[in-house]
Structure 1
């Protein structure tokens, strides 16, 4: 029954803010450490690579045609992740080398949307080092819309991992009933919720989703403080004028399928949180409630999900006629 047990690692770390390469190094170190501690899945927070856009709320981010906002956005874009150009290749290699699955929150600059706009994406990499899904956040929240673009349903997918079926959502997407239902309906029983860093976000919704779905829920948040702002950050003096010492206090946690804490929110502590989950507890709690099984009424209500990857253009051409 070893497949019934899954050892998970919650990587509650800070980025080297807006520095892709330095943050990648921290992520790689966490993966190696998690593997050395026998973890089979490691989860990182929302937008960890290369960091959350805290400057927007601190520097009048809605100012139109503003030099500061333009230069900070360009710096963000330079440090964003382009999967097609191999930015995650080292992470995929570590996943394969250590037989560990990974959920990683990134800021993505995808070529299939022109290569200039940014998306808050949650990437799942399997134990063979293959990227199996890239979920672009459906609706950026409030000021996030000034730098992130809305995603699509392509990444609303689940993945088999030993006896478990895992799926994930970004930050306030976890409050959206229909995306949650889209994952439940595909058999999800281990839900991954990633956050930029605050127990304000994790302390209620983590247990709620667990009780609603009768699944394990892992919430992973980052840490962030002014010490994590590199001195090379554009307009750092302006950002620091209003920045509190702590911008993200963590709050990573795990709830069981009964909605009770396995690990209550951990604050102000950087490092890995390791726990082993037992799949049989999912079946125990589904005995009296299953939101997409015996306690559902698909003859009355059903959800339709569009998982097509959205693009501005669709190129139809005869490849034989294309000049080489």
Structure 2
């Protein structure tokens, strides 16, 4: 399977052969998953993903979205123990992470095609010997529209994952609208958000891992402030925000927590999937935090024009004369190869003659 566009390319793109959403029929159903992955079980989590995709498709959803590092689950041990103790999980987590264009990746693409549904999911991306917090967007024909990486893993996530770069701040112009994606606390980075707003998102996918960590001790890790981040993104960007969210289940806690103190830090539940409109309104159903399911809502892209008429942060409400953002979209690579230029035979002959004359 080939990426419809090269991985992490730098500019807003259109999907060839597709039309942008009809101006007269911009309404359709979208879904945000709230569920627990089968931790560090690549095939098992893919099976569960496809089952949830079918559930969303059966309810008429045109797009279904999944949490941050949904595959093969979020590495919660980095928050509840020290790096030395966490090393016991490293090899298993690496082995169950997923490469782009792998057979497992193609399974998900095929399911999207079979179910005629667009799919966005977070995954631990394996690339060589490194891991990245990544997101993929696949269309209803099973074609990969975008694969992107979190620019900067948050705090202790840096012990597991590498960085993305400016090419990962990308919005794609597709048949269902302009779609962009960010992970978790990328929504607390004002400049990254502004880079996304500048590409005129219609649908933004804000993927979160779960809100069950350090309850009452560190409010910034809880559901309230992070859901507020998704909500304010919708208002600032004048777009619809789908915020899928993971759940910590008993099986996950049993694998990771060997002490009561760890169970107090990583508690069960934490699910808080939401969908927001461009005016900040919460849309669709609410699922209790300990339960799994799909948040379903109908969105109307026509409402974006109403929101943007009041405030467009990169249009009529901007002041580029006072403040501007510089976005470096160049993909960062550790090695750049250059081929030696062929030397003309005449040049070689002249050089040899010059050396001979010098010797004489």
- Asked if Structure 1 and Structure 2 have the same fold, meaning a TM-score greater than 0.5 normalized by the shorter chain, the answer is yes
Tell me if the contact between 2:268 and 2:290 (Cα under 8 Å) persists in the aligned partners.
no
Asked if 1:173 is matched to 2:194, the reply is no
Would the alpha carbon gap of residues 2 and 81 (structure 1) be closer, same or farther in structure 2, given more than 3 Å must change?
farther
Structure 1 gaps of 5+ residues are none
In 2, the alpha carbon distance for the partners of 1:133 and 1:240 equals 41
CA distance in 2, matches of 1:125, 1:116: 25
Deviations 1:190-240 (A, max 9, x none): 22110001224533112211221222112111111233357xx5xx56477
Q: How does 1:78-97 map to 2 (within 5 A)?
A: 78-97=95-114
TM-score, normalisation: structure 1: 0.87
Q: How does 1:92-241 map to 2 (within 5 A)?
A: 92-110=109-127, 115-162=128-175, 164-198=177-211, 199-228=223-252, 238=258
Across the aligned residues of Structure 1 and Structure 2, the Cα RMSD in angstroms comes to: 2.4
Looking at structure 2, the residues matched to 139 and 239 of structure 1 have their Cα atoms a distance apart, in angstroms, of 30
Between structure 1 and structure 2, the one with the greater Rg is 2
Contact 1:163 1:279 in 2 (8 A): no
Aligned partner of residue 109 in structure 1, secondary structure:
strand
Q: Give unpaired runs (5+ residues) of structure 2.
A: 1-22, 212-222, 343-360
Give the conservation status (yes or no) of the 8 Å contact 2:182–2:206: yes
Cα separation, 2, equivalents of 1:296 and 1:149: 33
Relative to structure 1, is the Cα distance of residues 100 and 237 closer, same or farther in structure 2, using a 3 angstrom cutoff?
closer
- CA–CA distance in structure 2, aligned partners of residues 167 and 237 of structure 1: 35
Deviation readout 1:94-142 (Å, 9 max, x if unpaired): 11222211110000012xxxx1111111111122212222221111111
Does residue 296 (structure 1) correspond to residue 318 (structure 2)? The answer is yes
Following TM superposition, where does structure 1 have runs of at least 4 consecutive aligned residues deviating by more than 6 angstroms?
none
Query: What is the CA distance between 1:47 and its match in structure 2?
Result: 0.6
Larger displacement relative to structure 2 (80-89 or 284-293):
80-89
Question: How far apart, in 2, do the equivalents of 1:300 and 1:314 lie?
Answer: 37
Which residue number corresponds to residue 75 of structure 2?
53
Higher strand share: 1
Are the counterparts in 1 of residues 269 and 291 from structure 2 also a CA contact under 8 Å?
no
Is the aligned partner of 1:269 residue 2:291? yes
Checking the alignment, whether the CA contact within 8 Å between 1:3 and 1:163 is kept in structure 2 is no
User: Quick one: which of 245, 250, 275 aligns to 1:254?
Assistant: 275
